A and B are shown apart, each in its own frame.
Chain A
């Protein structure tokens, strides 16, 4: 299934983001290709340390001030390069065309500024409106996402709101400038389950109303199932499998994805031992030579240790980086 050029909104190609610490170079993202289509929601799933957040920060260019840098690769938004441009242009994109929300709603809002002010300033920055106009727009969007007492809340401070409410404010703040892409980095992980459900429902609705394409980062496959159209699985800074949600969940083509799916207990099922993927994410200093997942893989064989597998593409668009795929295609291994 060929993807039409005009369908692709965000195109990340061969991204390498490394952190240069006193103890050595950490290759957080080591050759990642991700495409986000217009109007769709793409999930990025993986364990902590897989590089999913760093990918997001690379797209947003929020790496200044850290020891991280994009050393190779390219990112295009709507066909335009967003890596090799000036800092000023990057800043204009942030919050404008690309917005991001983070995991910790409790600490992501400035405690000494009013809510209305914090949302309005994004509008003022990107659209150069007056304070009054910005405030009107703020109240409008709060109402749009069904936040009660919008006129009162704009004059309140973050400490007066609950965690779920703060996350909703964060979403409003991100969407207020009608971004083309919204990156959500584990937005529900820090919230309890009922609030989580509300936030996800909100995001689903917004997809319909605002039409923003979403990059949803999480380690929770259940959330992926609920909200995403396509999914990308990351491990050790690389993509190991990608495809649309239904196909991946029905038939995963990579042992890691399989392991992740198996470790979710199903409602009504009696299990004595929860299945888990044995072992740990490898130490960045001692990466295996061949396939990075091999040490924890129950189906590996010699070739896996020697050479890192390339991507194998299936007819339904699913891609997997595993030598087992070659086996399935027929032929030697």
Chain B
């Protein structure tokens, strides 16, 4: 019959992870953002060791000074060095921001899994609650919760977690619903796997990429909400170096003392910006549609 010729094709074997790394490396802004965030993490951990002044070092002889060699970012109304306080504030702001969205993600994911998997009454209840929570504008809901719980950063974490959770619940629920009927879930069921096992070993991994994407999209806004709450006086309390709080006190001195609000605010901005750029970079790298 017909001759069949074969051409040798030597193609590199590219694993999905390698592809991801390649694409990620191309995003220079994301790398820069990552570098900045690593720096912040370093500050969070060894902050006290590297700052020139203490967080509460009053110095009444040098109040309200503009940036100078001694005080890179100037001093506040108590003579405290703003540069040191900004660096030391990194720990709190990062911790509050990250933990609140993480708690929200975890709670939301669990609710979403249960809601999607078991359906019925429990699903309706959970979804109704989520819908109602959605009816409140985010910050308003957070403020309302703070009004109930009282001030303090721990309550801020709870408030932001509560208002992040419903979105996660929704995403995970729809992923669960579509995976519920799939072949591998049916197979696991027929092998006698328990519900818990199915949910956590099979369905959850399938929803993971969506969860991660949504998580990265929300870290920035969680940090902003948390610092807004501190700015409004409901979150961190004096003498904490939390950035939002620094802006709140510095606000009275706007005019001649721009440095008091500028630097902590800049810190918030750069942090949120870095998370957003990082998130964008991650999403672009993970997106199969962008493969050539």
Which chain A residues have a beta carbon within 8 Å of chain B's beta carbons?
21-23, 278-279, 282-283, 286, 288, 294-296, 298, 300
Contact = CB atoms under 8 A, between A and B. Distances in A.
- Majority secondary structure of chain A interface residues (helix, strand, loop or mixed): loop
A219 to B, nearest CB: 21
A223 B5 CA distance: 31
A298 B5 contact: no
Given A278-B4, A288-B7, 9 more contacts: A21-B292, A23-B292, A283-B7, A286-B7, A286-B8, A294-B5, A295-B5, A295-B7, A296-B5
Interface centre among A21, A279, A283 (most CB of B within 10 A): A279
The 8 closest A-B pairs by CB, nearest first: A295-B5, A22-B292, A298-B2, A278-B2, A23-B292, A278-B4, A286-B7, A21-B292
- Majority secondary structure of chain B interface residues (helix, strand, loop or mixed): loop
Contacts of B9: 283, 286
Nearest to B8: A286
A287 to B, nearest CB: 9
B289 interface: no
A295 B9 CA distance: 14
Contacts of A23: 292
Contacts, number: 24
Interface in B181-229: none
B3 interface: yes
24 contacts: A21-B292, A22-B292, A23-B292, A278-B2, A278-B4, A279-B4, A279-B5, A282-B7, A283-B7, A283-B9, A286-B7, A286-B8, A286-B9, A288-B7, A294-B5, A295-B5, A295-B6, A295-B7, A296-B2, A296-B4, A296-B5, A298-B2, A298-B3, A300-B3
Contacts of A300: 3
Interface string B3-18: 1111111000000000
A75 to B, nearest CB: 28
A300 B6 CA distance: 14
Interface in B1-35: 2-9
A152 to B, nearest CB: 40
Nearest to A259: B2
A160 B151 CA distance: 59
A21 B292 CA distance: 7
Contacts of A278: 2, 4
